[in-house]
Structure 1
């Protein structure tokens, strides 16, 4: 007859085995309910469009509804904090971006989350270039004329906020070209563009893809883009690098989960993202106006984020920049 101690050990081992099988079954069945994608933008913006396009395509391959949860504010940092504190079960994900997982950690040491420690980077999705722009009524028509004007006297440039990715990248431009250009921060591109058109500010630096309507319509003049190569859709627009300003940076968007998310869940999401990135509708949206889908995933995406933070941090330190 089995002694009580042996019976207890046998029962405990059986219980552990059953729990393991149940956990494995739960993970294997992922996802069993709708998945929330937290987006750090209000509805209707470029980032929101990328997030909703991803949610639609990803939901098809996961076999579950993807719910977009807009948590705008603080440059996407509220969304990042929400996901960093979420239960790591694969049912709360974030549309990560260069703002909340790149420039913010470089300029805001007191963030309530850590990058990349508090996240599992799953895949980079799309990159969109920054653009140096002037109004159509500006006398400046080339990067060379812009540099000459900056060296000949004070120029101003607008961005969508102090401490944001665009301001830090423009700081890189200033450092590389040896320019002294006064930064004028705005709360959004709308007010910045109004003052640009009105001649109250000389230039605007931001991701240009949401502004293609104004560029094509002749209200904005795009002087240069921040990609390594010229954008195929605009072959006449040079890169900053070929114009003598060695800056190659992009505004990127990706998918990440809270740290501690089980590997099999992450693997399921990775496979779904890979399949979603072949979706014709998603490719059409992501490639519109010069953006380009990415192939970085897993550890490669994590390494990219670490390098991106380091690039931003160097510009922050050299320019002695401070967040708002």
Structure 2
């Protein structure tokens, strides 16, 4: 029996070489089928628009269609969980964003996934500032009016969910400005708009770019944005920082894959994303209304995510928010 050991070891070594060869062939042929992109929002929202825009262009460069699958719920966490459970073969990607990989790890200790351990961060795509808005009929005309009223008595602000990125950033705003504003969580921007228009809630804090139709139409009034500088297309709208509230945060979106996805596959996706991001149509969508495309990839993108989580953790601490 002992005389067969060397022969068995030789067979195992041969099998290992064959499997490695097959894997190399598979990687060289990647992709040989459509790729799915999980988006944690229903169709029609800002995140969905950004995801579908890159999916359409990326498919042209990578050689196979990118099929969008909307998996809404839990602030995008459901989509993130599904991606981390997928086979790490490059055929399942996630539209990662501030909520499911930024604020969620900062406020939830019971997430079914770990950031950054369960992710391969491929490329950041776009950043958009948050905006503080009121109804177009509101007597509050400026950010100064808002601050004065908030300091003079309780006000309310809406967000699209307790523990979400927008709530945490608004808690930073409250802390920095010394404001007394009650948080009213909603399940989506639709119900917020209804109550904002009827006066049941005083204000809404959210990424403002999906709201530009209502802002331009006079239904909403944008008081301030959370970017470092004023948005060139809206030079009359001040930043929170220049208004005395030192908060600079953005809602961002990017592409991620499951942990263990082969590096040659990640490299091919990354290169294809770089080509897709040169498309005039992609840039038109991403630059609309003050959003800005990003070029962070790989380790630089991962480092950005870690810094973002740290910023949200500080917001959680400052706002004395409950960590779940």
**How does the TM-score come out when normalised to structure 1?**
0.96
TM-aligned CA deviation for residue 20 of structure 1 = 1.6
Residue 206 (structure 2) aligns with: 206
Residue 259 (structure 1) aligns with: 259
TM-aligned CA deviation for residue 15 of structure 1 = 3.1
Please state whether the residue corresponding to 1:69 is helix, strand or coil: strand
TM-aligned CA deviation for residue 137 of structure 1 = 1.4
Residue 166 (structure 1) aligns with: 166
Please state whether the residue corresponding to 2:256 is helix, strand or coil: strand
1:70-85 matches, within 5 Å, as 70-85=70-85
Q: Is the 8 A contact 2:133 2:220 kept in 1?
A: yes
TM-aligned CA deviation for residue 242 of structure 1 = 1.0
TM-aligned CA deviation for residue 320 of structure 1 = 2.0
2:258 maps to 1:268: no
Gaps of 5+ in 1: none
1:266-305 matches, within 5 Å, as 266-305=266-305
Cα RMSD for the two superposed structures: 1.5
Farther off after superposition, 120-129 or 184-193: 184-193
Residue 188 (structure 1) aligns with: 188
Farther off after superposition, 121-130 or 42-51: 42-51
Mapped to 1, the partners of 2:47 and 2:222 lie a distance apart of: 21
Residue 143 (structure 1) aligns with: 143
Mapped to 1, the partners of 2:283 and 2:54 lie a distance apart of: 10
TM-aligned CA deviation for residue 170 of structure 1 = 0.3
Please state whether the residue corresponding to 1:204 is helix, strand or coil: strand
Mapped to 2, the partners of 1:16 and 1:213 lie a distance apart of: 58
Gaps of 5+ in 2: none
1:1-324 matches, within 5 Å, as 8-322=8-322
Q: Is the 8 A contact 2:76 2:99 kept in 1?
A: yes
TM-aligned CA deviation for residue 318 of structure 1 = 2.3
TM-aligned CA deviation for residue 10 of structure 1 = 4.5
Farther off after superposition, 18-27 or 171-180: 18-27
Please state whether the residue corresponding to 1:196 is helix, strand or coil: helix
Mapped to 1, the partners of 2:65 and 2:193 lie a distance apart of: 37
